[in-house]
Amino acid sequence: MTDNASDKPAANGQGQAMWGGRFSAKPAELMQAINVSIGFDKRLWAQDLAGSRAHARMLISQGVIAREDGEEILKGLDAVEGEIVAGAFPFRDEYEDIHMNIEARLRELIGPTAGRLHTARSRNDQVAVDFRLWVREACERSAGQLEALQRALVAQAEAYADALMPGFTHLQPAQPVTFGHHLMAYVEMFGRDAGRFRDARARMNECPLGAAALAGSPFPIDRHQTAASLGFDRPTANSLDSVSARDFALEALSAASITATHLSRLAEEIVLWTTPMFGFIKLTDAFTTGSSIMPQKKNPDAAELIRAKVGRILGSLTTLTVVMKGLPLAYSKDMQEDKVPTFEAFDALELSLLAMAGMVSDLTPNTERMAAAAGAGFSTATDLADWLVRELNMPFRDAHHVTGSAVKAAEGKGVDLAELALADLQAIEPRITSEIYTVLTPAASAASRMSYGGTAPAQVRAQIARWKELLG
Ligand code: ARG
């Protein structure tokens, strides 16, 4: 916007205004500037061609257009594709969007027969099918990239299924877990995320083509044929809904937002773990940068950027939700604003997924440091309490109290629980025996958590095996 953007148009009765700047004075130019979408919807070229081919073939087989005309159109579309692939296609603002750009070029290439392609079709159902195809592919790609990320996590989890680390609650050391177990938590999250993309895909897989402008078509079209040839399960069942619906994109963006939220949590942990204070993992130079002023620094920029991308992705969901809110049926031009946020969100998500998979494969844990930290902070206190319950039949609340006293004693002496003398423990609870030491090490603690889904290496390995099977 220019400085005088808020100035009122000059009252010269011609609609000539003093908007200035790059929008000169002609309302027609402003109209084009706000209306044109080719700059971003050219990304739909492949989907637009697929939709047009399916439509043209159906028009031929239904006898709506003559076979020779249809074949000329199909050949022309091949030529258009060739130009686009070769980077020789003239994308022109004057033709507004991808649909009219392709049609205009088709007319230049094959002449007036091109005009028959738009029989029984409108840009409203055309854009609806193009965008659905694009979002469907984005969901498939995201699910595939999630699976690749899961494979990277499973491989690291398998290598470190026994590596001890502190498990946290409130980011305070809580109980020992294994690094493999921690990574497998993300495998579960990303598995649900991939499932959400698959669910969204299944729900959106109905073809709006043939709804035409909004009311359907008087021509004897076969919507089942076009639906099947574009890989849809069936045609959409209401023509108004067909051209008005964008909830498939909202659903995909919401799956993307949840995925991005999960990515941000793993990214944050990588940021924490790579600090010298944690020192749990190392990344190579492949996923870090140096500082221009502080030579000692190795910054986890990729993780930080992944952590931040959720802003853009969730922002896109918000944008499209607000665009769609309150729109009357059927198509309104507002809906042209569906593409930029959706493209942006999936660009950000796909880059994040690829970078995260790369980073996960790249990281090396410092197992000694993690194991040492796993024993710090009296992390086996619960194990002590559980032993009192099991062996002395003590109510858990009393055991909790006794354990608190043992922690206090250890803290006073500056030692770990496992380093407290038996006499010290017996001074608190005389029935304690030397058996207690078998549960006070982090390794024993982790190994004892054999409940289904627990952190015992045997359990972790069982889940790893299950995921390896699922991920193929
Ligand atoms: N470029 C438009 C969009 O993205 C295509 C549909 C235009 N339809 C119309 N009736 N003006 O929404």
DSSP per-residue letters across 16-64: -----GGG-S-HHHHHHHHH--HHHHGGGHHHHHHHHHHHHHHHHHTTS
pTM of model > 0.85: yes
State the distance from the centre of ligand 1 to the C-alpha of 159, rounded, in angstroms: 53
pLDDT digits (tens, 9 = 90+) for 80-110: 999 999 999 999 999 999 999 999 999 999 9
Cα 312 to chain centroid distance, Å, stands at 11
Nearest to 356 by CA among 290, 307, 285: 307
Q: What is the pLDDT of residue 2?
A: 40
Cβ–Cβ under 8 Å, residues 338 and 44:
no
pLDDT of 25: 59
Regarding the beta carbon of 342 and ligand 1, being less than 6 Å apart is answered no
Name the residue at shortest CA distance from atom 11 of ligand 1: 333
Atom of ligand 1 nearest to the CA of 333: 12
DSSP letters, 268-301, are: HHHHHHTSTTT--EE--GGG-B--SS-TT--B-H
Residue stretches of the chain with pLDDT short of 50: 1-19
Which residues are within 8 A (CB) of 38 and not within 5 positions of it... i.e. 6 or more apart? 91, 92, 93, 95, 96, 97, 98, 101
Atom of ligand 1 nearest to the CA of 331: 10
The helix (H) or strand (E) run that includes residue 317 is helix 301-324
Rg of the chain taking only CA atoms, in angstroms:
31
- Indicate whether residue 101 lines ligand 1 (CB < 6 A): no
Among residues 370, 360, 345, the alpha carbon closest in space to that of 186 is found at 360
> Residue 179 carries which side chain, given as an amino acid letter?
F
Q: What is the pLDDT of residue 20?
A: 52
| pLDDT for the residue numbered 243 | 98
Of 206, 240, 228, 237, the residue nearest 54 (C-alpha): 228
Helices 179-204 and 457-471 pack at an angle, to 10 degrees, of 30
Q: How far apart are CA 210 and CA 228, in angstroms?
A: 13
Q: Measured from the CB, is residue 124 less than 6 Å from ligand 1?
A: yes
Closest ligand 1 atom number to CA of residue 213: 10
Do residues 10 and 25 make contact, with C-beta atoms less than 8 angstroms apart?
no
Identify the three-state secondary structure at position 449.
coil
SS3 for 167?
A: strand
| CA-based nearest residue to 130, from 60, 49, 194, 76 | 49
Distance between Cα 277 and ligand 1 center (Å): 55
Per-residue confidence (pLDDT) for residue 99, from 0 to 100: 98
